[in-house]
A = this chain, B = another copy of it.
Amino acid sequence: MKLKIALLPGDGIGPEVIQQAVKVLNAIAEKYTHTFEYSKGLVGDVAIKEFNNPLPEETLKICADADAILFGAIGDPKYDNNPNAEVRPEQGLLQLRKKLGLFANIRPVHTYTSLLHKSNLKEHVIDGADLVIYRELTGGIYFGERKLSDDKLSAVDTCNYSVEEIDRIAILAFEAAKLRRKKLTLVDKSNVLETSKLWRTRVAEISKQFPSVKLNFLYADNAAMQLILKPTQFDIILTENMIGDILSDEASVISGSIGLLASASIGKHTALFEPIHGSYPTAKGKNIANPLAAILSAAMLLDHFELYDEAENIRLAVEKSIDLNITTPDLNTTNHFSTTNVGNFISDFIL
């Protein structure tokens, strides 16, 4: 197979982890005789520096022309203390999601036997946890109208959802549940929010088309607690944009490190694959960032093109690296390896 892959390494540790993912993709290409062609685009703070635009036209064009996008991370600490910066790295990612219509962000969370003891949660709590979060990605309060009042004394954000936006991701989530353990949990705040009520009504409606899938509901506050109290109760979690943002980072503690969590964003146009971790600026250039989330995002990319054996091969290699403790400092306090070491081990193991 021939695939054109747009690489958007972005900021902070983004370039380092994407480099390892590419190394691994190249090993796959060689082993299975595929052709992966890469074109690189700027996004985030690096793009702001060059073009004063976190998502330059050229980057968007590269993405639109590609079969898939591999994204690193964006964000820079200089914006944290400057909330009023007009141009921000995050806008690059948000615009990309919106422009490509990437409405479904899919975030699998599971455990690795040899990492069970590393989680802050007790082993018996997380053992067997295996869930996938379906987070709506192009609607809600992330994309509603927002405004600082002229006198700068008040601000407003707007959360909108339409039936169409809810239905399309709900259908994907139910389809996924059907192929898994047949349980779907809708997380919302329908005891307060009008949009959540619409979610609950629609999802209940759609569930009738999927009689084999058991649907249940949780309020977001309770879900945040249940994820830690009993993560094994979940199969597919379906939720809106902002709640999904919070819960999926929280759920990373189940796996032992946010450096392990990959994601796929799919929708109308070119699908995008990205680690859920951020740009981790303090680790930048130190060769200590965990490349596994980026590498596993590359595996999700291959899954998307039904290259299941290839994706599985990557996952096996990742598991091997974890089993042998060939891991970065976040997972390995004693004899840790560098970002490059881990990438090399995995690509060598594949070949």
Contacts and interface: CB of A to CB of B under 8 A. Distances in A.
Contacts of A176: none
B160 A159 contact: no
A132 to B, nearest CB: 18
Contacts of A162: 153-154
B191 A75 contact: yes
Interface in A163-185: 163-164
Contacts of A245: 189, 220-221
A204 interface: yes
A57 to B, nearest CB: 23
Contacts of A243: 246
A159 B157 contact: yes
Interface stretch (A13-21, A120-128, A293-301, A316-324): A120-128
Contacts of A247: 224
Contacts of A278: 222
Interface string A239-261: 00011011111101100001000
Contacts of A121: 120-122, 228
Nearest to A215: B81
Nearest to A230: B120
Contacts of A90: 191-192
Contact of A194 (B88, B155, B159, B196): B155
Interface stretch (A22-30, A62-70, A141-149, A306-314): A141-149
A263 to B, nearest CB: 13
A195 B250 CA distance: 23
A83 B155 contact: no
A156 interface: yes
A146 B194 contact: yes
Interface residues of A, number: 66
Contacts of A122: 120-122
Interface of A: 75, 79-81, 83-84, 88, 90, 94, 120-122, 125, 141-142, 144, 146-148, 152-164, 189-198, 200-201, 204, 217, 220-222, 224-225, 227-229, 242-243, 245-250, 252-253, 258, 278
Given A154-B198, A155-B194, A221-B245, 16 more contacts: A83-B196, A83-B201, A84-B201, A94-B192, A120-B121, A120-B228, A121-B121, A122-B122, A152-B163, A155-B160, A157-B194, A158-B158, A158-B159, A221-B250, A224-B224, A224-B247
* The 10 nearest A-B residue pairs measured at CB: A146-B194, A221-B249, A224-B250, A83-B200, A83-B197, A154-B162, A155-B198, A155-B194, A228-B253, A157-B159
11 contacts: A83-B196, A141-B159, A141-B192, A146-B195, A153-B164, A155-B198, A158-B158, A221-B248, A228-B253, A243-B246, A246-B246
